[in-house]
Amino acid sequence: MNYSILTPAFCAAAEELSGKFGFTVSAAGLPTEIVLGAKNRICYDGKTLRIEAQKRVLAFAMLKRFSDRAPAAPYEEEIAEHFTDLTYMLDCSRNAVAKPETVEELVRHLAVLGYDTLGLYMEDTFLVPEYPYFGYLRNGYSPEDIARIQAACDRFGVALVPYIQTLAHFGTLLRHYAMGHLFDTGDILMVGEEETYRFLEALISTCARLFRSREINIGMDEAYMLGRGAYMDKNGARSRFDIMEEHLKRVLAICKKYGYMHPMMWSDMFFSLTMNAQYDAGLPEELVARVPAEVELIYWDYCSTSEAHYTEMIRKHKRFQNRIGFAGAAWKWLGYTPDNRYAFACNAAAARACIKEGVQRFIVTGWGDNGADCAQFAVLPALLACGRMNFGEFGQDADFERAFFTLTGMTLGDFMTIDLCNRVTRHDDVEEKNSANKYLLFNDILLGTLDTTIDDGLGALYAEHAEKLAAAEKRGGTWAYLFKTQRTLAELLSVKSEIGVTLRRAYASGDRAALEGELARLEQLPALIEAFYEAFRAQWERENRPNGFDVQDLRIGALKQRVQTAIRKVRAYLGGTAPSVPELEEKLLDFMGHNEDFEKDYDQCEWRWRRMTSVNVNE
C-alpha cells in the first residue's frame, strides 16, 4: 500500500516508517487524511483514506492495519482499545544497554503495533551528576542519549517513561566502595537515613529533568530482607510493613516535588510483607488502608496460562484503594533464546482477566535477567500478540500471520523457530517452558550438575533444530543475524547437550572404543563454541553498547577452558598417563533434589549461570 499523507503533522513520521512495515509513503500514493478525534476509525471510500485516532500513535498502527488488509472495495472499521496504556518495558540494566539507534528502531516497531509507552528500566544505567559511581563503567544513558530517544518517541506519540529503583536491585552499585554506606543488606538501601533520600532525590530529579513524561515507576520490588541488616543493627527489629510504609512516604514526597503525582511501583512487597495465616482469606484491612492512595500498584505475574489465576490475584489487588496496573512478560530472560510461544499463552490469559476486571494499564516486560543474553528483537511475535490483545484480538490466525509478515518481512513460522533451542521434546505442550538453551550450554561436562535432567537423543533433536534455523536464516533478510546466533547455538548443542551423559556412561562401562568416540566428539566442541561466540558477538555489537559483553567473554571463555580440561583428562586416561578421570567416578544425584530418582523436568527455567555451571565456590 502506498499513501500520500495529506496531514502535515503526520508526514515526517509516516515517511520514517515508509518501506518498513508493508506500506510506503509518496506523493503518488492513496490520499490519506489523519485527524485526532473521539474515536479510532478507518474510513475508505475507494478513492481516499481517512483515519481518525484518539492518540497520535494509533494513527500509525491503523495505517499498518489498513495496509495489512488492503481492501479493494470501500471499507470502514471502528477500533476499540481495552487498555488506556499499553507499555513495553525495555530492560537496560542486565548488561545489555541498547544503543540509542536500537531503541529508535524499537520505537518504530512499537508505533505500528499501537503501544502507548516505552519504559526504560534503568537500575544504574543513566548518568546522575552528583554520584559519579552511579552508572560507572555500565554504559549508562547520558542526557544526550535520553534526548535522542525522547525525540524518537515524540515523533510517533509514544510516551517515554523511566523505570527506576528506589529500594532494592542495586547490586551492581554495591560493588563500588564509594556507595557502600547507602546499603542495609544485600542489594537493599539503608532506609530512614537522610543520605539515602539525598541519593534518591538525585535520581528522581534527574529523571524529571531528562524525561518529558510525568509518569515514573519507582520499583521497590523484591526487597524481602528489608530491615534485616545494618538497619536492624541500628534500629532493632521492626515490622517490615512499617519500614516499607515510612520509606514509601518519603519517596512519594520526593516524587511529588518533581511533578510525579501518581508514581507506579511493583506490588509484590505489600503481599509478601502481609503474608500470614489469614492471607488466603484476604489481606488484613488495617494494612490495606495504610498504603498511600496516590501510588499505582503494578501486579506483575509471568508464569501462568490460567485466566482464573490472574483474575483471583487482580481481585486481591482491588482490596487496595489504589489504581491497579498489570505487568506480563515477553519471556526473553531465559538465556540466549526467547519463548514467544509461552508469552502468547500467559499474556493472553492475563489480558483476558485484565479486560474483564477493568485493569487499564498493561505492561509487557522485556527482562534480561542474568546477563541479558537474548536479542532485543527476538520477541517481536510476543509484542505483536500483546498489541493485538489491546484490540480484543487473540490467537495466531491468518490476520496475525499477515500482520507479522508486514512487521518483519518473515513468515511467522520461520520467525518462531527462534524459540527452538528451548525445546527439549517433540511434544507440542506450551507448558514446557525452559531455559535449556543456556543450561545445556553451560552444564559442566565433567561435573555434570544437570546431567540428570537430560534425555537420550537430545543431540539428534538439536540437529533437527539447527536445520530449521538454517532455513529461517536464509530467508531472514534483515533479521538473519538473529537466526545465525540461534543456528550456531543449536549446532553446538547437537554435540554438547548430552555429551556429559554419554561420556560418563562410556567411562563407567570401561568401553575404550566408546570412550574414543566421545573424545572425538569433545574435540569438535572448540570450533562449534567459537562459531556460536562469533555470531553472538556480532548480534550484541549490532544491538547493544559494549560494556556488559565482558561477562559473556568470561562465561564463554570459561566454557572453552572447561572443554579443553575435559579433552585433556580423557586423552590422558586413554593414553595411559592418568589412572582415572576422578570427576566421572562421582555418583550423580538428581538436580531437582530427588536424590537417585532422576526427574526429566521439561518445565525447567534455571537461568542462573552460577548454579548451572558448578556447585563450588563461584563468587
The burial class, CB within 10 Å (0-12 / 13-18 / 19+), for 471 is middle
Q: Distance between the two ends of the chain, CA-based, in angstroms? A: 56
CA–CA separation, 468 vs 415, rounded Å? 10
Place of cell 537500575: 123
CA–CA separation, 182 vs 178, rounded Å? 9
Residue 401, pLDDT above cutoff 90: yes
Mean pLDDT, range 324-344, rounded to an integer? 97
At residue 619, the 3 state secondary structure works out as coil
Residue 493, pLDDT above cutoff 90: yes
CA–CA separation, 418 vs 422, rounded Å? 9
To the nearest whole number, what is the mean pLDDT of the chain?
A: 95
Residue 3, pLDDT above cutoff 70: yes
* % of the chain surpassing 70 pLDDT: 98
pLDDT for the residue numbered 618: 77
Mean pLDDT, range 569-591, rounded to an integer? 96
- 171 grid coordinates: 547490586
Place of cell 482499545: 81
CA-CA-CA-CA dihedral for 386, 603, 430, 68, to nearest 10: 30
At residue 116, the 3 state secondary structure works out as coil
pLDDT for the residue numbered 103: 98
pLDDT for the residue numbered 114: 98
Concatenate the DSSP letters of all residues of 451-502 into one string. GGGPPTTHHHHHHHHHHHHHHHHHT-GGGHHHHHHHHHHHHHHHHHTTHHHH
Is the Cβ–Cβ distance between 92 and 121 less than 8 Å? yes
Sheet holding 75-79, edge to edge: 24-25, 2-5, 30-36, 49-53, 40-44, 75-79
- Which domains are present in the chain? 2-79 (3.30.379.10), 86-382 (3.20.20.80), 416-613 (1.20.120.670)
Mean pLDDT, range 290-315, rounded to an integer? 96
pLDDT for the residue numbered 273: 56
Residue 275, pLDDT above cutoff 80: no
- Residues contacting 119, CB < 8 A, separation 6+: 87, 88, 89, 90, 161, 162, 163, 217, 363
Picking from 94, 580, 9, 77, the residue whose alpha carbon sits closest to that of residue 333 is 94
Is the Cβ–Cβ distance between 24 and 50 less than 8 Å? no
pLDDT of 189-238, one tens digit each? 999 999 999 999 999 999 999 999 999 999 999 999 999 999 999 999 99
- 401 grid coordinates: 500471520
pLDDT of 164-186, one tens digit each? 999 999 999 999 999 999 999 99
**Local confidence band at 276 (pLDDT 50, 70, 90 cut-offs):** very low
pLDDT of 55-111, one tens digit each? 999 999 999 999 999 999 999 999 999 999 999 999 999 999 999 999 999 999 999
Residue 312, pLDDT above cutoff 90: yes
pLDDT for the residue numbered 340: 98
Task: Name the helix (H) or strand (E) containing 89.
Answer: strand 85-91
Between the CA of residue 410 and those of 68, 114, 151, 413, 526, what are the distances in Å? 14, 20, 29, 8, 32
Picking from 97, 99, 118, the residue whose alpha carbon sits closest to that of residue 107 is 118
**Of all residues in the chain, what percent are helix, strand and coil, respectively (each to 5)?**
50, 10, 40
Amino acid 462 reads Y
- 526 grid coordinates: 572448540
Sign of CA dihedral 433, 434, 436, 437: positive
Picking from 19, 42, 40, 43, the residue whose alpha carbon sits closest to that of residue 108 is 19
Is the Cβ–Cβ distance between 498 and 459 less than 8 Å? yes
CA–CA separation, 619 vs 608, rounded Å? 13
Q: Which of 25-34, 224-233, 404-413, 607-616 has the lowest mean pLDDT?
A: 607-616
CA–CA separation, 14 vs 23, rounded Å? 10
For the whole model, what pTM was predicted? 0.97
Mean pLDDT, range 275-296, rounded to an integer? 72
Q: List phi, psi (to 5°) of 73.
A: -100, 165
pLDDT of 25-51, one tens digit each? 999 999 999 999 999 999 999 999 999
pLDDT for the residue numbered 283: 67
User: Distance from CA of residue 268 to its chain's centroid?
Assistant: 18
2 strand-pairing partners: 24
User: Distance from CA of residue 602 to its chain's centroid?
Assistant: 21
* % of the chain surpassing 90 pLDDT: 91
Q: List phi, psi (to 5°) of 239.
A: -60, 130
pLDDT for the residue numbered 280: 45
- The 8-class DSSP code of residue 132 comes to T
In this structure, the chain runs to a length of 619
30 strand-pairing partners: 3
3-state secondary structure 212-261: CCCCCECCCCCCCCCCCCHHHHHHCCCCHHHHHHHHHHHHHHHHHHCCCC
**Local confidence band at 474 (pLDDT 50, 70, 90 cut-offs):** very high
CA-CA-CA-CA dihedral for 438, 446, 490, 520, to nearest 10: 170
Mean pLDDT, range 236-260, rounded to an integer? 96
- Residues contacting 96, CB < 8 A, separation 6+: 368, 371, 372, 376, 540, 543, 544, 548
pLDDT for the residue numbered 512: 96
